[in-house]
Amino acid sequence: MKIVYFYQYFSTPKGSWGTRVYDFAKEWTEKGHSVTVVTSIYAKSDLKASRWTEEQTIDGIRVKILNLQIDNKQSTLRRIWTFLCFAVWSSWYALTLPADVVVASSGPITVGIPGLVARYLRGRKLVFEARDLWPDTAILMGALPNQYAQKLAYWFERQCYRSAHLIVGLSPGIQQNIARRYGFKHSISVPNATNLDLFGTPIADVQLPDSLSGKKVVIYTGNIGAVNNSTLLYETAKALRHRPDIAVVLIGDGQLKQELASRQRQDALPNFFLYDLMPKNELVAYVQRAWLAIVPLKRAPLLDTSSPNKLMEALAAGIPVIQTTDGWIKHFLDEHQCGFTFSSDEPAALADLLIKLADDAHWRPAMSQRASAVARRLFDKNQLATDYLTALSNVCQSKRLSTDGVTDRAQWISG
């Protein structure tokens, strides 16, 4: 098959961002398929370009790089402008690149534009991949306050789903949300994957900084901002000031990072640590040596559908997880007994939970084994890439997906 993948945030393991598209595309090319990724330059990616448009071959993947800089620190208007520029610019490739199937990976929802161009002007088979629920996410973050713009965005979202031969949700919650709101059933769930060879293989002779030596490290990796409830982690560290054996560690970047760093200096907080973005192959040592991983998303129904890559990476490393949502992740952790759900925004209550766990030496070994086992069974990137490829092959052979013969690894949640 000839596969064209429109995705603005492409990164390899040398970058500090999720590698889902890289992992899947690499697996597909190794099986003899032609994969072209059309992307831009994200601040957390390792991609670089010296020309307006540049083509690179990365591990067999043909990568068309549009030299547009995207950064979460940009203003809302600047980011919207960048999204629109990518949508229009990449539509040229939707018209000109040979393809049996086109994958448009959202967010942002504007990536649906080249997908629709390929669908209706070139007659390509279209797969729309919903990484999160746009425009709901943009509205939650305050990036789309105008009600008329919201109505237009919801209309466009529906057109993307309706026009797709297959909808791929990155979580069972996303798949169920789309089916409930719009009634579209031509969908499957292919969750975020993890590189088991990377995160599941112990790294020897790597030490954490001396300041973390001997501590029970509660690790968070990713965007440091309001949606990720980063302030809750800081206040929890304050509540744990009397427990120097428990360290709260944030690795990443985001809107709140400088503010939290300033507060940490003012409060002289000894058990709160901020580290810069790291490539995946460096980050893995910190994850593997953590005591717990935490996924502290803001409490909002929309975020209950999230599929955070940090969850899969922690489980692959055998690290139990604490998370805050009420959706599929909560049910998943309960079913597989590989983590805990914390359902409060009170830092003192989270501190109490961490103290209780720290003072009990019995729970962790078995939970760590279950975490590793379930990651290997459900989140292996190679197996999920194979499942996805089967779905793409079915799309190429029919007008709409028949899910017969497709292993949907989300069925353990969605039923």
Query: Where do the domains of the chain lie?
Result: 2-193+380-414, 196-377
Give pLDDT, residue 5.
Answer: 98
CA distance 168 to 292: 30
- Residue 31, C-beta contacts closer than 8 angstroms, at least 6 positions apart: 389
CA distance 173 to 157: 17
* Same fold for the pair 2-193+380-414 and 196-377: yes
Q: What percent of the chain has pLDDT over 70?
A: 96
Neighbours of 143 (CB within 10 A): 16
215 conformational bin, left if phi > 0, alpha if psi -120 to 50, beta if neither = beta
Give pLDDT, residue 411.
Answer: 43
Specify the residue for token string 């790597």.
Answer: 206
- Residue 147, C-beta contacts closer than 8 angstroms, at least 6 positions apart: none
pLDDT tens digit string along 117-175? 999 999 999 999 999 888 888 887 777 788 898 899 899 999 999 999 999 999 988 99
CA distance 109 to 111: 5
pTM greater than 0.75 (yes/no): yes
Give pLDDT, residue 174.
Answer: 92
CA distance 174 to 150: 19
Give pLDDT, residue 399.
Answer: 56
pLDDT tens digit string along 176-208? 999 998 898 899 999 998 889 889 988 877 778
CA distance 79 to 86: 11
Q: Confirm if 319 and 287 have CB atoms less than 8 A apart.
A: yes
CATH topology of domain 2-193+380-414: Rossmann fold (3.40.50)
Q: Confirm if 41 and 401 have CB atoms less than 8 A apart.
A: no
CA distance 168 to 129: 5
CA distance 122 to 95: 6
List, in sequence order, every beta strand (DSSP E) within 166-316.
Answer: 166-169, 187-189, 216-223, 246-253, 272-275, 292-295
Q: Confirm if 20 and 308 have CB atoms less than 8 A apart.
A: no
Q: Please indicate whether residue 71 or residue 41 has the higher confidence score (pLDDT).
A: 41
Specify the residue for token string 């809750």.
Answer: 232
CATH topology of domain 196-377: Rossmann fold (3.40.50)
7 burial level (CB within 10 Å; 0-12, 13-18, 19+): buried
Neighbours of 374 (CB within 10 A): 20
Q: State the distance between the two ends of the chain, measured CA to CA, in whole angstroms.
A: 31
Confidence band of 408 (pLDDT split at 50, 70, 90): very low
CA distance 353 to 232: 14
Sequence letter at residue 87: A
Identify the H or E element spanning 143: none
pLDDT tens digit string along 213-235? 889 999 999 999 888 999 999 99
With 50 as the cut, is the pLDDT of residue 33 above it?
yes
Q: What percent of the chain has pLDDT over 90?
A: 70
Spatial CA neighbour of 409 closest among 384, 372, 391 = 384
Sequence letter at residue 356: K
Q: Which two tokens stand for residue 313?
A: 């990476």
Omega prior to 108 cis, within 30 of 0: yes
With 50 as the cut, is the pLDDT of residue 414 above it?
no
> What is the average pLDDT across 23-50?
95
Mean per-residue pLDDT over the chain, rounded: 90
Q: Which two tokens stand for residue 58?
A: 């990365």
Q: Would you say the C-alpha torsion 297, 79, 137, 319 has a positive or negative sign?
A: negative
CA distance 285 to 397: 43
Distance, CA of 214 to chain centre: 30
CA distance 300 to 302: 5
Question: Residue 17 gets which letter from DSSP?
Answer: S
Give pLDDT, residue 403.
Answer: 44
